[in-house]
Amino acid sequence: MVVQVQSLRYTPAGIPAVNLVLEHESQVVEMDTPRQVKLQLRAVAFGAQAEILSRQGLDAVCEFHGFMTNARNGKGVVFHIQDFSKT
């Protein structure tokens, strides 16, 4: 779920980019015990994906595909969105 979307910006090379915060919530079984999992994750999208996501409303439920890498400042991780679909 999208919980925060910053304004669309452009990289120095002129590529559209948008920063987001995604939230995941699910239930998994660990050692035969149900466990609630909930987390927020910083994310970024570029190009056409950024333009589309910058227009998404908050609480949009989507399935995201991409990769995770270290943040540029070395603090935490950022999920780079390469593709998504509404669920």
Cα(49)–Cα(6) distance, integer angstroms? 14
**pLDDT given at position 80:** 97
For residue range 30-87, list pLDDT tens digits in order: 999 999 999 999 999 999 999 999 988 788 888 999 999 998 888 899 999 999 998 7
Are the C-beta atoms of residues 57 and 1 closer than 8 Å to each other?
no
Q: Are 37 and 25 in contact (CB under 8 A)?
A: yes
**Confidence at residue 51, expressed as pLDDT on a 0 to 100 scale:** 95
Residue type, 10: Y
For the chain, list the domains and their CATH numbers: 2-86 (2.40.50.140)
CA-CA distance, 66 to 77, in Å (whole number)? 13
Pairing of strands 62-70, 77-86: antiparallel
